Amino acid sequence: MSPTDRYRRPADLPPRIPVFPLRGAILLPRATLPLNVFEPRYLEMLDDVMAGDRLIGIIQPALSEGADDEESPRGPVELRSVGCVGRVTSYQELDHARRSITLTGVMRYDVLDEAMTDLPYRVMSVSYDRFANDLNEGLGEEMVDRTNLLRVLRSYLDANKLEADWAAIQRASSEFLINALCVMCPYGPEEKQALLEADDLKRRAEVLVALAEMELASSGSSGTTLQ
């Protein structure tokens, strides 16, 4: 049983969650996101969640004219309307002021409003109802054009002179591969949010392929054929 299998319906998740606003970072169901936590407000948040349900919401700050471009902005900046809640599945205390954690994605959520608290970090009231299918592992994998996804991935790796364990990539499920690539890919906040908010796995794969193909075209690289 995986650490996230305990969540079988939206009601299994709390309606209010602490959120970690991070620009250019997303989380998706069953994908993992490693984080180094060092700011005092988030160290306190981490202490609180580790003593409770171990759940943290990852969400991006909204882009707006004159917005603070810090990775994790201070103050009541506007946040995106959709994020993803994850469970702390790995925790290491590096020293008195730093923690290394891994979040494993559970499901996406819509932000309803912000809860008023005296805590140094932000807490949001959320709804998971629209994303109930996120709890169904592998849903929609049969609709994904896996051959094209792997073709474009190989082209992208070759164009950027990157190495990968291709045998492991081919063994991975389509859901794991797509969601992990979306979390790790070096795209900007808008592209990341588009990947997060894609309706289903097929659409997410299509957006991921389109972004990679645009980057390959702009760099003058051409596709390759799988052997």
Q: 11-55, pLDDT tens digit by residue?
A: 999 999 999 999 999 999 999 999 999 999 999 999 999 999 999
144: which residues sit within 8 A by CB, 6+ positions away? Answer: 174, 178, 201, 202, 205
If one counts every other C-beta atom within 10 angstroms of the C-beta of residue 75, the result is 7
* 199 within some domain: yes
Q: What is the pLDDT of residues 153-204, one digit of tens each?
A: 999 999 988 898 999 999 999 999 999 999 999 999 999 999 999 999 999 9
pLDDT bucket at 227, cuts 50 / 70 / 90 = very low
Q: Are residues 80 and 153 in the same domain?
A: no
Mean pLDDT calculated for residue range 131-160: 95
* Residue 5 to residue 11: CA distance in whole angstroms: 14
* 207 within some domain: yes
Split into its structural domains, the chain has a count of 2
Q: Are residues 69 and 111 in the same domain?
A: yes
Domain extent, residue 18, equals: 10-134
The last residue of a domain, from among 77, 101, 134: 134
Q: Are residues 95 and 160 in the same domain?
A: no
Note whether 177 and 166 are within 8 A (CB): no
Q: What is the pLDDT of residues 112-137, one digit of tens each?
A: 999 999 999 999 999 999 999 999 99
CA distances (Å), 100 to each of 69, 132, 181, in order? 24, 29, 21
* Residue 185 to residue 25: CA distance in whole angstroms: 10
* 40 within some domain: yes
Q: Are residues 126 and 151 in the same domain?
A: no
DSSP string, 135-194: GSTTTTGGGS-HHHHHHHHHHHHHHTT----HHHHHHS-HHHHHHHHHHH----HHHHHH
User: Domain holding 19: CATH number?
Assistant: 2.30.130.40
Position 220 scores a pLDDT of 74
The last residue of a domain, from among 70, 104, 134: 134
* Residue 79 to residue 76: CA distance in whole angstroms: 9
Burial class of residue 139, CB neighbours in 10 A (0-12, 13-18, 19+): middle
* Residue 212 to residue 156: CA distance in whole angstroms: 7
pTM greater than the 0.85 cutoff: yes
The last residue of a domain, from among 102, 134, 166: 134
Q: Are residues 105 and 128 in the same domain?
A: yes
1: which residues sit within 8 A by CB, 6+ positions away? Answer: none
User: What does residue 79 show for φ and ψ, rounded to 5 degrees?
Assistant: -110, 160
* 149 within some domain: yes
Q: Are residues 86 and 186 in the same domain?
A: no
* 2 within some domain: no
* 224 within some domain: no
Position 226 scores a pLDDT of 32
pLDDT bucket at 225, cuts 50 / 70 / 90 = very low
Q: How far is CA 55 from the centre of its chain?
A: 14
Q: Are residues 208 and 110 in the same domain?
A: no
* 100 within some domain: yes
Q: Are residues 163 and 212 in the same domain?
A: yes
Beta-sheet pairing, 122-127 with 32-37: unpaired
Token pair of 54 as six digits? 């171990």
Position 109 scores a pLDDT of 98
Sign of CA dihedral 164, 165, 171, 175: negative
Q: Are residues 79 and 51 in the same domain?
A: yes
Q: What is the pLDDT of residues 80-101, one digit of tens each?
A: 999 999 999 999 999 889 999 9
